[in-house]
Amino acid sequence: METVIALVLFLSILTGCAGETLTNVKSSSITPNAAQMEEAVRYTVETETCADTIQAEDGTELLVYQFEVPELEVCRADGEIVNEAETDQEEQALTAAETFNARFADWLDGSSLDVFLEAAKEELEFSRAEGLTWSPYTLELQCEVYQNDRMVSVSGTYYSNTGGAHPNTAVLSWNFDLREGNFFTPALLAADSDEFLKAVEQELNVQALQIAADADLPPEEYFWADYTDILRDWVNYAVSFDETGMTVAFSPYELACYAAGEQVFHLPYDQILPYLSEHGKRVLGISQED
């Protein structure tokens, strides 16, 4: 049962959320084109919390969930939320917001919870038949949002406890270019993507050696035996940005055993700056040019 649930979890990593809407837990706003005059728009990201407890017919708790979902809104310079565009700039901004919000819409649609509910019902019946203690399934999503005048970077942690020896955790990330109106991968920020990918790979290997040394273990024992191959593919894992630099994170099991936990690597901007294109510098807020 645990194996089946774990598979469902990662196949349904963008599972939905249907329930009570609680108070927003964090919000901030940015002005993408500060040099522009009255037609300037602002993007506001608010993290909406959705939570609910689903019970069986006899009142037994089957599933408890709480998801923090970022939502992008467009405001005018005076703070008024833009629902209908009055200018071309507002139209472009609304289109960008729709693209961003569509990526997270599945968290707000409860249809994907059905598979977890059915599994919880089966597990509850099994637990009662075997005289085992029952605990409801638990699903959580927590998000941290960083934004500058050109991009929004979201880092998320998805937690699930669906029985078995221990819960599961997955680290996630989404990076969005407000001007272009689309999500991007870090390689698109580089002047030479191959050179950039290789340089980051080398730095990750250096940091990995230090992590293993701190644990007083050789790296091939602390990490999986093929950890260098995994690090080579770093761009396809959770990559996010904040005011200090770029973070590359691996979920438990991806780079090392569960007990080792998440493996997090941080590169300050001065390390990646030589490999960025002018476009990449602007997106990350490193360049003042537009």
Q: Per residue in 224-277, pLDDT tens? A: 999 999 999 999 999 999 999 999 999 999 999 999 999 999 999 999 999 999
Q: With contact defined as beta carbons under 8 Å apart, do 7 and 37 qualify?
A: no
Indicate the SS3 state at residue 134: coil
User: Residue 24 has what pLDDT?
Assistant: 33
End position of a domain, from candidates 183, 203, 237: 183
Q: Are residues 149 and 258 in the same domain?
A: no
Q: Are residues 3 and 146 in the same domain?
A: yes
Q: Are residues 40 and 137 in the same domain?
A: yes
Q: Are residues 52 and 70 in the same domain?
A: yes
User: Residue 26 has what pLDDT?
Assistant: 35
Q: Are residues 231 and 118 in the same domain?
A: no
Q: Are residues 247 and 134 in the same domain?
A: no
- Which domain range does residue 288 map to? 185-290
Tokens representing 122 are: 């089966």
As beta bridge partners, residue 48 has 69
Q: What is the largest CA-CA distance in the chain?
A: 69
pTM of this prediction exceeds 0.75? yes
CATH number (domain holding residue 69): 3.30.565.40
Q: Are residues 175 and 190 in the same domain?
A: no
As beta bridge partners, residue 72 has 45
Q: With contact defined as beta carbons under 8 Å apart, do 144 and 152 qualify?
A: no
Per-residue confidence band for 109, with pLDDT thresholds at 50, 70 and 90: confident
pLDDT higher than threshold 50 for residue 9: no
Indicate the SS3 state at residue 228: helix
User: Residue 287 has what pLDDT?
Assistant: 72
Q: Are residues 266 and 200 in the same domain?
A: yes
Instruction: Please state the domain count of the chain.
Output: 2
pLDDT higher than threshold 90 for residue 108: no
pLDDT higher than threshold 90 for residue 121: yes
Q: What is the pLDDT of residues 20-47, one digit of tens each?
A: 333 233 333 444 443 443 357 999 999 8
Separation CA 44–CA 81 (nearest Å): 9
End position of a domain, from candidates 122, 153, 183: 183
Rg (CA), the chain: 22
- The order of strands in the sheet holding 263-268 is 238-241, 245-250, 263-268
Q: Which DSSP helix (H) or strand (E) runs through 258?
A: none
Q: Are residues 167 and 124 in the same domain?
A: yes
Q: What is the pLDDT of residues 189-216, one digit of tens each?
A: 999 999 999 999 999 999 999 999 999 9
Q: Which residues of 148-175 are buried (b: 16+ CB within 10 A; e: fewer)?
A: bbbbbbbbbbbebbbbeeeebbbbbbbb
Q: Are residues 176 and 190 in the same domain?
A: no
The mean pLDDT of the chain is 86
Considering Cα of 10, then 11, then 14, then 16, what sign does the dihedral take?
negative
What is the average pLDDT across 13-22?
Answer: 36
Taking phi first (over 0 means left), then psi (-120 to 50 degrees means alpha), and beta for anything else, what does residue 29 get?
beta
CATH number (domain holding residue 243): 3.90.640.20
Q: Which of 249, 217, 51, 60 is nearest to 139 (CA)?
A: 51
CB atoms within 10 A of CB 223: 22
pLDDT higher than threshold 50 for residue 61: yes
